[in-house]
């Protein structure tokens, strides 16, 4: 199976139906590419062979000659594939400064949501993607250091534990894949990235806002100014390959911080957070005279 | 023999500044350092011309226009900053041939 995710072309070899069924559901009308192209990642997800594999069915992820993870239970083949693809991108895509951030776009401007695990970043990202924001990525801000543009990498958004039901209640019509209970990251389910995001994968855009979100049920949902210097440190510290990029990475982050407004957003529910970010986008549009 | 402080990597550093905080990237280590005005002034002073501790103290006292009754304490701060900056790899005390570190 050959398919495209943003700028990357992946060849996936697998005969596991539980993987291909979920891929069909979550990547939907993914573009099927011709065979004569350069392939970025060669991935295999296979059932573990031998006696042990028969006694305890497991899935093994491998890429080229590398098998970076211990086998997963066979019924977790899909999350294994998604984490494995993350691994391939993080290890090989150093043409980009890879920001650890959710990335969405509205009116041609990019919102960066860099945040550590547990902050509600993915849940908020999924919510925004179903409220008029185009998903560029839930995990990787693929920044071209020289132009300052971010390339889309639209893929299913992984939700964990309680956030799965929170999101389903927020958007009952959303396409959500199966829930995988008891993975190494808890219960996991993936949200479809949206047809528009998949269709517009070539459309890069420029960052306008850096917002550090944090779910906190006891806080009022509102934007707070976030000092530029602190934002620089947090954004560069959250990048997967910042030290490797050297001065190029430093100047790329510096440019983002100079060109974007920087905010901290505690939020107690998704509706309020979406409303606040919609207002931020609308305010910027009106500041520009509606251009 | 007195230590000769200098900044062998000055041309390789990148820096930016927000709200009196300086962010200095050292490509030799891959680290970004957050520095105060005093540290940046020391680095700039040594980049202009390498010097020993006493000379650095004297020049910084002039630059910062420190009152006579505060000069001893300020000189102590300068010496501490010199050693700290050296420890971070941002300046050199000349004990080895650090010109080899300069990126091409």
Nearest to A229 among B12, B21, B30 (CB): B21
pLDDT value of position A291: 43
Last residue of a domain, one of A69, A92, A115: A92
Does A285 score more than 80 pLDDT? no
Average pLDDT over residues B15-39: 92
Considering only CB atoms, which chain B residues are within 8 Å of A229? Answer: 18-19, 21, 23, 34
Whether B14 sits inside 8 A of A227 (CB atoms) is no
Confidence of residue A52 (pLDDT cuts 50, 70, 90): confident
| Number of domains chain A is built from | 2
pLDDT value of position B9: 82
Is residue B25 within 8 angstroms of chain A, CB to CB?
yes
A142 shares its domain with A244: yes
Considering only CB atoms, which chain A residues are within 8 Å of B27? Answer: 246-247
pLDDT over 70 for what percent of chain A?
96
Contacts 24+ apart (CB under 8 A), A171-179: A171/A126, A171/A127, A171/A130, A174/A126, A174/A130, A175/A25, A175/A26, A175/A28, A177/A22, A177/A25, A177/A26, A177/A78, A178/A22, A178/A78
> What ipTM does this complex have?
0.80
Nearest-neighbour CA in chain A from B90: distance (Å)? 15
A88 shares its domain with A108: no
A125 shares its domain with A209: yes
Average pLDDT over residues A163-176: 96
- The domains of chain B are located at 14-97
Is residue A226 within 8 angstroms of chain B, CB to CB?
no
A15 shares its domain with A29: yes
pLDDT value of position A228: 95
pLDDT digits (tens, 9 = 90+) for A228-277: 999 999 999 989 999 899 999 999 999 999 999 999 999 999 999 999 99
Confidence of residue A46 (pLDDT cuts 50, 70, 90): very high
* Residues 6+ positions from A276 with CB-CB distance below 8 Å: A221, A222, A223, A265, A267
Confidence of residue A54 (pLDDT cuts 50, 70, 90): confident
- What is the average pLDDT score of chain B? 89
A15 shares its domain with A157: no
Is residue A290 within 8 angstroms of chain B, CB to CB?
no
Confidence of residue B3 (pLDDT cuts 50, 70, 90): confident
A191 shares its domain with A257: yes
pLDDT digits (tens, 9 = 90+) for A6-44: 999 999 998 898 888 898 899 875 556 666 778 899 999
Query: Is beta strand A58-63 parallel, antiparallel or unpaired with respect to A72-73?
Result: antiparallel
Average pLDDT over residues B54-60: 96
Total Cβ atoms within 10 A of residue B32: 21
pLDDT value of position B104: 44
Range of the domain at A141: 96-291
Nearest-neighbour CA in chain A from B31: distance (Å)? 7
Nearest to A232 among B12, B18, B27 (CB): B18
Is residue A252 within 8 angstroms of chain B, CB to CB?
no
* Residues 6+ positions from A218 with CB-CB distance below 8 Å: A268
Whether B21 sits inside 8 A of A244 (CB atoms) is no
Confidence of residue A143 (pLDDT cuts 50, 70, 90): very high
pLDDT value of position A34: 67
CA–CA separation, A88 vs A68, rounded Å?
Answer: 10
Last residue of a domain, one of A92, A113, A146: A92
Whether A233 sits inside 8 A of B34 (CB atoms) is yes
Does B99 score more than 70 pLDDT? no
Does B12 score more than 50 pLDDT? yes
A171 shares its domain with A183: yes
Mutation target vs A (from B13, B27, B104; most A CBs, 10 A cutoff): B27
Is residue B34 within 8 angstroms of chain A, CB to CB?
yes
Average pLDDT over residues B73-88: 96
A173 shares its domain with A276: yes
Edge to edge, the sheet with strand A8-13 lists: A2-5, A8-13, A41-47, A58-63, A72-73
A148 shares its domain with A281: yes
Last residue of a domain, one of A68, A92, A116: A92
């Amino acid at each position: 199976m050959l398919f495209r995710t943003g700028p990357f072309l992946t060849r996936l070899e697998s005969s596991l139906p539980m993987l291909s069924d979920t891929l069909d559901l979550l990547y939907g009308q993914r573009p099927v590419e011709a065979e004569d192209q350069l392939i970025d990642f060669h991935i295999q997800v296979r059932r573990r062979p031998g006696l042990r594999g028969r006694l305890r069915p497991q899935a093994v992820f491998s890429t080229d000659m590398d098998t970076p993870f211990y086998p997963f239970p066979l019924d977790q083949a899909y999350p294994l594939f998604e984490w494995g693809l993350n691994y391939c991108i993080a290890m090989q895509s150093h043409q980009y400064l890879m920001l650890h951030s959710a990335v969405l776009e509205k009116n041609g401007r990019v919102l960066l949501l860099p945040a550590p695990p547990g902050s509600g970043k993915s849940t908020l990202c999924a919510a925004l993607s179903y409220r008029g924001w185009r998903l560029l990525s839930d995990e990787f801000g693929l920044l071209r250091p020289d132009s300052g543009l971010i390339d889309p990498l639209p893929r299913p958004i992984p939700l964990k534990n309680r956030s799965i039901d929170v999101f389903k209640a927020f958007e009952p019509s959303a396409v959500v894949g199966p829930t995988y209970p008891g993975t190494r990251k808890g219960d996991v389910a993936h949200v479809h990235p949206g047809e528009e995001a998949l269709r517009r994968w070539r459309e890069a855009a420029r960052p306008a806002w850096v917002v550090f979100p944090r779910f906190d049920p006891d806080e009022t949902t509102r934007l707070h100014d976030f000092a530029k210097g602190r934002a620089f440190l947090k954004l560069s510290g959250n990048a997967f390959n910042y030290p490797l990029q050297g001065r190029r990475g430093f100047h790329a982050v510096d440019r983002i911080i100079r060109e974007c407004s920087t905010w901290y957003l505690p939020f107690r529910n998704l509706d309020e957070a979406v409303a606040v970010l919609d207002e931020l986008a609308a305010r910027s549009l009106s500041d520009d005279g509606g251009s | 023999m007195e230590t000769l402080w200098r900044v062998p990597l000055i041309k390789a550093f990148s820096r930016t500044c927000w709200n009196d905080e300086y962010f200095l990237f050292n490509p030799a280590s891959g680290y970004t350092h957050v520095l105060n005005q005093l540290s940046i002034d020391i680095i700039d002073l040594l980049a202009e011309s390498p010097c020993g501790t006493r000379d650095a103290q004297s020049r910084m006292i002039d630059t910062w226009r420190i009152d006579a009754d505060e000069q001893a304490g300020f000189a102590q701060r300068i010496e501490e900053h010199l050693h700290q900056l050296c420890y971070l790899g941002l300046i050199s005390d000349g004990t080895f041939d650090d010109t080899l570190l300069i990126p091409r």
